[in-house]
Chain A
């Protein structure tokens, strides 16, 4: 009925809703979250380092090379066979931009033995495999295996090109580039196409050794952990020989003094993609973060929001019209798919909705409804192991922790006045429109 556009996860570290414990081991911060509601145990390893033009492409390549072979399991085929033997443990690598950081994730889901007819120690075997992938990759004379690097470079180029083929992702990338032309935040997490060819196995291996020493590394274990001595297993299997996690770089919030910029491009497509980028001046650790979430909910986060009601339901201009906020850089993005001829009309309706927010044209009922929905969304997020990790990881990015109780309470206490203040503060940076070619 309406498209699900991923909504940024709200943050918070609950004392009662989430049983979260963190310990700093030899260079790795281990987070354990005890729960018996899943059929599997989830393992997520996150490595963060600042986004930089000269490392972005190497970082984009690295996890894919790592998962392609270890000293003991020297090919993808052998790694995958091992995973199958561990009752179909899954292994995914991924990249993300969180504030000014470029984050590498390696994620595994491992069946809980109690649901299997055969008893085995698959959690510790799975952690052992993850450690091998991370710390014992296939190498040759101080270099990654050259055949693996060659293959993964080809795949990376294809991955970068495929952004162009998905028009919504392409428009997002273009908008970000326009908003941050000379800043690391404008870089894409897949790196730069023309940088791929020049990366050698040796150079990548040197970068890898540096990353293992200098990245902030967080390891999350979610599941039925009580009977396993996970902290002992992790201590034994993840020995990095580091002194401790360094707290270094922080995200620089996007400044608010910008003038409106309009960028229109065209391609041979049927539906125009309208993406509007705003700066909020509000990030995860700010007091205003609560009011920003309520603002976003009333403005464009839900199907009761102004954008959905006015752009879609009232004017029939679009199938989707929504806004979402970014939690660290301080951004808000509006997205809608429209007919090219309706561009001016849609932009002006969206601008009118923000004006309405600024002048307080929303009811107490909308406030209450939105708060309930945010509450609901948060509780649903922590029903999912990945969602829970995403949520907790905000704290590592922001260097600030917020217990769940404070968070819920903070939303509850947001007043209309504070929402209006947020609306007044939000500044339009760039209107990006990818339109269809004129017939």
Chain B
């Protein structure tokens, strides 16, 4: 077991890679009541085209299957795993993103028992035709809930505008039609391919003794008969650098229009420290351009183009990346024109050192605040690890960024042909 001390943050991380390939990370948090653990596979909604384990040919699976599988892992032949956790005083949950599926629990007692339950239920699938059919009604209502959510539709609308082929444009839960094609056998195929320990990471954070926890996990895994598995082959069509659609509009039952704008990353293949540097640079740039302390924010607010729902963020994974900017507005067309102009102006001007220092301080403070949350630590650490980055490198990297680094990242990301607009407008 490796022990890594982060002096400035006063945190110590313990990690180990087990013989079957599973990565285990433990971050003790004395003083907290809660222990939070996530068991995550590097498998999400975009992984819909791959070579199944022990097969030769490629397979394309129905949209939404990773999320469907996440729901069905909780059901076993004789019981529901939610009940197991709850009898042991733990709350359990799970989520599926574009690139990951995570299973988790939080508890204030019975930590070892709950941890064992978490690992064992994820590692013992049981699917039946009947239970697969039953889930279609529940997930159907989950899909409809999101379909009625205007903010969600606006966010996904702008992503859909960007991509010609990449499956990031598909809804994570799929559609009522796509999930109707999911079968028990397809679930097993996906499970066998993507849930091998070598594709997974276990993170435990809370008032725990790292040695004891590591021993428990090692013993649990050693008792299971996992064969080595070759690397997973996943396929993605070539994606053109420019956006697929420059603009799209959706009419919904809302009173206030929403306008979301985005820039598509043209070369989303960075990993490791390059990726960390790039994503922090774009985040700093967005704050410099549109943060509440910026001239632009002040102008847009004074002109009545934005309100406090205005926000921005940047997402990057291997194979796709985008920034999304926007919110509620009474004048969606005017807002998108102004944002586009402001980005162009920023791209052509020089960032002052004083501005950068201020935003850098803000980002460091924001990161410290995030570390109060055990959920943030476990989920973000896992994402960083899957992209060969380390969460605890954030502060040193922020401290190292120069005006030139940011200007280079800005020129690279905010390109004219990468810009797209999606509006949600009131019906009728």
Contacts and interface: CB of A to CB of B under 8 A. Distances in A.
Given A88-B363, A161-B256, A319-B142, A271 B147 contact: yes
Given A87-B365, A115-B8, A379-B34, A39 B330 contact: no
Interface string A56-96: 00000000100000000001110011011111111000000
A173 interface: no
Interface in B58-106: 70-71, 74, 80, 82-83, 86-95, 106
A359 interface: no
Interface in A3-42: 3-4, 17, 35-40
A141 interface: no
Interface stretch (B131-139, B161-169, B209-217, B236-244): B131-139
A222 B298 CA distance: 32
For the complex, would chain A's binding face be called helix, strand, loop or mixed by DSSP majority?
mixed
B57 interface: no
Contact of B293 (A37, A84, A302, A316): A84
A64 B372 CA distance: 27
Q: Quick one: which of B254, B292, B297, B368 has the most chain A CB within 10 A?
A: B368
A242 interface: no
A80 B291 contact: yes
Contact of A372 (B89, B135, B150, B256): B89
Contacts of B294: 77
Contacts of B94: 1
Contacts of B139: 319
Given A1-B93, A270-B147, A375-B89, A162 B256 contact: yes
Contacts of B138: 312, 316, 318-319
Interface stretch (A174-182, A382-390, A391-399): A382-390
B364 interface: yes
B74 A1 contact: yes
A270 B148 contact: yes
Contacts of B8: 115, 117
Nearest to B32: A383
B141 A271 contact: yes
Given A76-B301, A81-B358, A383-B33, A269 B253 contact: yes
Interface in B21-38: 29-34
Contact of A339 (B83, B90, B134, B141): B141
B227 interface: no
A77 B293 contact: yes
Contacts of A64: 308
Contacts of A111: 364-365, 368-369
For the complex, would chain B's binding face be called helix, strand, loop or mixed by DSSP majority?
mixed
A304 B86 contact: yes
Given A115-B8, A162-B256, A373 B369 contact: no
A119 interface: no
Contacts of B234: none
B361 interface: yes
B358 A85 contact: yes
Sorting the interface of chain B by its residue count into under 10, 10 to 19, 20 to 34 or 35 or more gives: 35 or more
Q: Quick one: which of A88, A312, A338, A365 has the most chain B CB within 10 A?
A: A88
B297 A380 contact: no
Contact of B295 (A38, A77, A89, A382): A77
A316 B134 contact: yes
B229 to A, nearest CB: 26
Sorting the interface of chain A by its residue count into under 10, 10 to 19, 20 to 34 or 35 or more gives: 35 or more
B361 A376 contact: no
B9 A115 contact: yes
B144 interface: yes
B380 interface: no
A76 B134 CA distance: 52
A88 B292 contact: no
Given A115-B368, A385-B372, A380 B34 contact: yes
A345 to B, nearest CB: 12
Nearest to B29: A37
A302 B254 CA distance: 32
B361 A88 contact: yes
Nearest to A17: B33
Contacts of B151: 166
B1 interface: no
B307 A84 contact: no
Given A271-B144, A271-B148, A376-B89, A80 B293 contact: yes
A235 interface: no
A270 B293 contact: no
A155 interface: yes
Contacts of B149: 166-167
Contacts of A1: 70-71, 74, 92-95
Nearest to B308: A155
Contacts of B93: 1-2, 4
Contact of A304 (B83, B109, B291, B364): B83
Interface in B294-336: 294-295, 297-298, 301-302, 304, 307-309, 328, 330
Given A319-B141, A376-B89, A165 B150 contact: yes
A361 B148 CA distance: 36
Given A268-B427, A271-B145, A372-B89, A303 B369 contact: no
Contacts of B136: 316
Nearest to A271: B144
Nearest to B176: A270
Top-10 shortest CB links A-B: A88-B365, A316-B137, A88-B362, A37-B31, A80-B293, A372-B89, A271-B144, A87-B365, A379-B33, A319-B142
Interface of B: 8-10, 29-34, 70-71, 74, 80, 82-83, 86-95, 106-109, 134-139, 141-142, 144-145, 147-151, 252-256, 291-295, 297-298, 301-302, 304, 307-309, 328, 330, 358-359, 361-366, 368-369, 371-374, 399, 427
16 contacts: A2-B93, A37-B32, A84-B359, A84-B361, A85-B361, A88-B365, A155-B308, A165-B255, A271-B141, A303-B91, A313-B80, A319-B142, A339-B141, A339-B144, A373-B89, A376-B108
Interface of A: 1-4, 17, 35-40, 64, 75-77, 80-81, 83-90, 109-112, 114-117, 151, 154-155, 158-159, 161-162, 164-167, 267-271, 302-304, 312-313, 316-320, 337-339, 365, 369, 372-373, 375-377, 379-380, 382-385
